[in-house]
Structure formats: structure tokens, C-alpha cells
Amino acid sequence: MSDNIKTLSIEGRPIKDMSAGELAAITFRKRCKFCGGPPSIRIRVLVQLDELTRREPEFVAMIAATNPDGPIIPTIATTYGAMVRLRDYCACSACQVDAEVAAAHYPSWQIVEINRAPSEQAAWEKVSSLV
């Protein structure tokens, strides 16, 4: 293993300590959170930074204290302002309903973003129209 790989880290953990499944799940090949199947939807739960600071100051302090990059809160820039990603998971088509029901029970001050993949039928229709 080269020296570059030994020093790389994702989410504060060195890559050399991760299994192939953990690395794939963190990067681009996500799997269903419930059964491990191929994903058809992605659910992200976001909170505005100032809202999270107002409602959960201890949680924000814990994130800042344990962040390996220093005492900062990792945020995502959106049109609504700086957002903190609390959860990010995928679900397959069989577990999609359960995942959406679970996402509906988050508090109202958390923003739930659901990205659905096109159905297989719609994908085949798009491909056949190109041919």
C-alpha cells in the first residue's frame, strides 16, 4: 500500500481501517440501509445550522469538539442557508415505503429530502426513444 493511501481518511476514519463495504457505502456505491439491496431512493435529513444551534446546543458543541478538522461544524451550502446533514441513507424499491414512513416521523424543524430514481419502465422508455 502506498503512503498516500495510508494517510487518506473519510469522515475522520483512515481508509486503511475500513472494510470494502464501509468504504463503498460512504463513497458512491450506497446500498439499501434496511436489506442491502440496490438503492432506488435516497433520503437526507438536513437542519439549518442556526436552528440546530438554538434547539440542540449540546449536540452542536459535541460535533465541534469531535471534528478532526478543528472546532467547526461541517455544513452544506443551500439556497436556504448553511445546513447540517444529520442523516443520509438509501432504500431499495422493496423497502421504499418503510423508509418514507420512517422519514415522515422526524421533527418538523428537520428538512427531509427524498430523491427518487426513475422507475425501470421509465428508464427503458427513455433508452428506447434514443435508439
**pLDDT tens digits, residue range 88-130?**
888 888 899 999 999 889 898 999 988 886 665 665 565 566 6
pTM above 0.85, yes or no: no
Q: State how far the Cα of 91 lies from the Cα of 40, in Å rounded to an integer.
A: 6
1: its cell numbers: 500500500
Q: State how far the Cα of 31 lies from the Cα of 95, in Å rounded to an integer.
A: 12
3-class SS of residue 62: helix
**pLDDT tens digits, residue range 39-77?**
888 898 999 999 999 999 999 999 889 888 888 888 888
Burial class (CB in 10 A: 0-12, 13-18, 19+), 27: exposed
